[in-house]
Amino acid sequence: AAWERRAARALIALEGVDRAGKSTQGRRLVEALRAEGTRRPHLLFPADRTTEIGQLISSYLVREKNLEDHTIHLLFSANRWEHVPMMKEKLHQGVTIVVDRYAFSGVAFTSAKGNFCLDWCKQPDVGLPKPDLILFLQLSPEAAAERGNFGRERYETSSFQEKVLQSFYCLMEDKTLNWKKVDASKSIEDLHREIKSLAEETMQEVQNKPLGELWK
């Protein structure tokens, strides 16, 4: 079943390795769309650290709290689901939504832990609003390192990030999704221009098309 979407606007996800510039580009894209008069474009951050679930996730990431691996995976997914009624409502009203990381990060990070198959990792997010465009910001580990050293947060080690990248590559083989790889080593401005043009193309294409359900 597909959800109604009247004045169609797009759901755009930003994914990529650490420090690729997802948050920077998400902000820039929403600002640019707003400046051009697109109706109330909306930026969303799963992991949104403001809800109760988000706060649990945040304390896990900063190592204040230990959570069992399946548990944290389900919490990340729950954090996405708690935003779904609002997302559907906005998309239905014709509001474009940009998400800074989505289910793909969820799957990539948990499956990188080993002992998790991709299929198990995907299940909790099956049926989420399906992005019309997934931008994968590609950046070499060397270039990422130049943007500052890893902090103290969980997952911020290069061996783990390498496994995460391999999981992303598996997910990108899914041709039912509209993945677009972009070169994140470009300047912020050049990358912004490329992303904006891909986003606008997608917003044109999805006019009056129903919103899909992820991995269904």
106 binds ligand Z5A (CB under 6 A): yes
Within residues 17-76, the interface with Mg ion by CB under 5 A covers: 22-23
Q: Which is nearer to Mg ion, 46 or 212 (CB)?
A: 46
Q: Which is nearer to Mg ion, 21 or 41 (CB)?
A: 21
Whole-angstrom Cα Rg for the chain: 17
188 binds ligand Z5A (CB under 6 A): yes
Q: What is the DSSP string of the chain?
A: --B--SS---EEEEEESTTSSHHHHHHHHHHHHHHTT-S--EEE-SS-TTSHHHHHHHHHHTTSS---HHHHHHHHHHHHHTTHHHHHHHHHTT--EEEES-HHHHHHHHHTTSS--HHHHHGGGTTSBPPSEEEEEE--HHHHHHT----SSTT-SHHHHHHHHHHHHHHHT-TTS-EEEEETTS-HHHHHHHHHHHHHHHHHHTTTPPB-BTT-
Q: What is the largest CA-CA distance in the chain?
A: 47
Q: Least distance (Å) from ligand Z5A to the CB of residue 80?
A: 7
Instruction: Give the up-direction half-sphere exposure of residue 78: CA atoms within 13 A in the CB hemisphere.
Output: 14
Structure tokens given for 118:
């991709």
Q: Which range binds ligand Z5A by CB under 6 A, 2-10, 84-92, 187-195, 201-209?
A: 187-195
Per-residue x/- mask for ligand Z5A, residues 40 to 79, rule CB under 6 A? ------xx-------------x--------------x---
82 binds ligand Z5A (CB under 6 A): no
Q: Least distance (Å) from ligand Z5A to the CB of residue 116?
A: 12
122 contact choice in Mg ion, ligand Z5A, none (CB below 5 to 8 Å, kind-dependent): none
Q: Which is nearer to ligand Z5A, 57 or 206 (CB)?
A: 57
Question: 22 near 15, Cβ under 8 Å?
Answer: yes
Q: Which is nearer to ligand Z5A, 1 or 142 (CB)?
A: 142
Within residues 120-149, the interface with ligand Z5A by CB under 6 A covers: 147-148
Q: Least distance (Å) from ligand Z5A to the CB of residue 161?
A: 7
Contact residues for ligand Z5A, defined by CB under 6 A: 18-24, 46-47, 61, 76, 100-101, 105-106, 109, 147-148, 155-156, 186-188, 191
